[in-house]
Each structure stands twice: as structure tokens, then as C-alpha cells.
A and B are shown apart, each in its own frame.
Chain A
């Protein structure tokens, strides 16, 4: 029972902190909406190939938006000493990491998924493609947060990780981009998007089981620096 309480207070603390600084919490969503909204302004009006590129565009925007706040996910705790208390708490550190990343996805990933149907229709995608894109984002954004969280844990002790983090993470995220945009592409061609969606689900299951342990090990290592 105390395990559930510890997990609950970890998630609750993250949500409370976001509520204290709502402008900061809304940054990824605003960035994502702006990037997607600006792109059509750069192409010719009524450009027929826009829906072809739209899934890739939405995915790239989601990729960059979810990396925006990830650098901070463990950094504050590392700098103010909370990480030491977390490492000594009865709650195993991998579970703490998972709880923090879950809260992070709720705040920075889920809004991107919820906004996707709107963006899809704005970019001229048909209903089936928009559905596939949204579903792909729902399965893919947690993987983005998890892999990004792993990189954030690896770089937590480094002074200027802001640039290093995307360079480290973006190559790891390419399978998510391939299958995520692939699902929407399949639906646009009238095919069944199930196969790429299953791949995304498999990537999520893999990162969900591996990342908390790897990230916890990286954080413990940072404490010994």
C-alpha cells in the first residue's frame, strides 16, 4: 500500500509543479501547434501534396515538442538533492523513474495526441488517416518520453546537456517516426494501418520494460560522480 502511496505522491508532485507554472507546462503543446500551423504557410495555397507530407510533419513537430521539456525531468531533482532522497527511498528507483515519466507524458505527450485530430483535419487528411495518425501518436509519444527520459538521465550530471540531448535521442527515435508516419500513410492509401501500429506497440512495450531500469542505473551513476 505504501508503494501505491509513494507512486501517487510522485505523480501528484509533478502535476502540482506543472500547475504552479502553467505557462511552462503549455510550452510543448504551443510549440507543436505553431510548427504544424506555420508549415502550410510556406507552401503554395491549395497545394495538393500537403496531405502527403502532413503525417511526417505532425510527427516531427511531436518529436521536437516532446524533447523540449525532457531535459528538466531529472535535472531539478539532481541539483536540489531530491534525487539522493529518491535513491534512498523504499520505493525502487526504477518505479520512481516510471512514475515521473508517466506524469511527464500526461503533461507533455497526451495533449499532443488530443490535438492531433484537429491538426489532421486542418491539414486536409481524411477521417481514416487522421484516426490512424492519432492512434499512432497515442502509442508513439510514450516511447518518445521514455527514450528521451533515458537520455535525460544519462546527461543529468553534465553542465550543458541542452544540445547533447536531442543529438543523443533523435537517432534512437527514428523507428518511432518510421512506423508512426507509416501508419498514417498506410491509411491514406486505403490499407490497414494495423501492422505499423503493432510495431509501435511493441516498441512501447520494450521501452516501458527496459527504460526505467536503465534510467535508474544512469541516475545512480550520476550520484557517484
Chain B
């Protein structure tokens, strides 16, 4: 994977008419995980949305990946409650031109076994999060933008996410992660960065 670095130049982001931050300079190289920190309301999610292309910045420039080169995991899981985990992922594959043959292996990796064919509404918070995280494995993309990926996950789940991130970085990908929990650091090239 040959990813270009992600560069932000004098970025200003507002939500409504409230300016969250301005003159933000940041450079993230592939092969590292940027752990985005900051108090509640500092604009971590808004910054991720700008990087994903879901939100237009007030000023400044983002030199980042095109939508097809990034994985976006918002704080919402993007799963329809009436469909099963497999059906939800199959729809995503159809939409993103990904190969649905990988769904079984991805769910295996996230340790979702019997639950995969139940409607998502009957799954626990952690199981839903694992299903949403399975998308990361369905298509190789250089940049992962993860908003609170550990929310609702148990200790094993958090270790699993750390393992996925480590593999992704070793393969030359990069990730920007917001999390109020500490990311497990053994073997993971994490850089902490605080949004003021």
C-alpha cells in the first residue's frame, strides 16, 4: 500500500456559527496511528468529518485521501436494525464495489459467530460495534478514520482493534482515531495529539 501523507494546513472548522478551532497544522504519515485527544466539544468528531469529506472546513486546506481511499467509522454504526450483520455488510459491499466473499472471514476475525445472522436490533452494543468494524477488513484502504472505535467494546474487543490497527500500519496504512480510552500501546505506533 502506497499511501500519501495526510496534511492539514491552517484549517479552521466551525459547527453552525461556532468556531471550533482555527489555524490547525498537522501532518500524519502512513504507518502511524494518530490518537486524537481533547475535551468533550473540542471538535474531534468534526475534524474527522472534515478529513472524511463529510464536512466542509471554514478555511484552510486538507491534502488527504479521496473517499474511495479511506474507511470512515462514525460514532453511529450504519447498520439497519431489521437486517442481520451479514445482510448489512453485503449491502455495504454492493455499494462500495467490495467483494462480499470476505464477509465471513471478517466477522470471524471480529469474533462474531452465532450472532451474525440475527437482526442487528437483537445484538448488544459491542456486537454492533464489531460488525461495523468488520467493514475495515472488507476492502483495503490506506486511511482509517475511526471515531471512538472502542465505544462499547470489552477488553478483548479493544485488544482486537489494536491488533487490526497494528496490522494496518505494518502494511503501510495510516489511521486517525479518537478515543477517550487509552489505545493498547504494545507494538502499536501511536502518536498522541491534543486538539486545543
Interface residues of A (CB under 8 A from B): 2, 5-6, 8-10, 12-13, 16-17, 20-21, 76, 79-82, 84-91, 223-225
Contacts and interface: CB of A to CB of B under 8 A. Distances in A.
A223 B94 contact: no
- The interface size bin for chain B is 20 to 34
Interface of A is mostly: helix
A88 B72 contact: yes
A223 B76 contact: no
B67 interface: yes
A203 to B, nearest CB: 31
Nearest to B120: A80
Interface in B71-85: 72, 74-83
Contacts of B97: 2, 5-6, 90
Interface of B: 16, 49, 52-56, 67-68, 70, 72, 74-83, 87, 90-97
A87 B72 CA distance: 11
A139 to B, nearest CB: 31
Given A80-B77, A85-B72, A6 B95 contact: yes
Contacts of B55: 223-224
Nearest to B119: A20
Contacts of B91: 9-10, 12-13
Contacts of B74: 81, 84
B94 A5 contact: yes
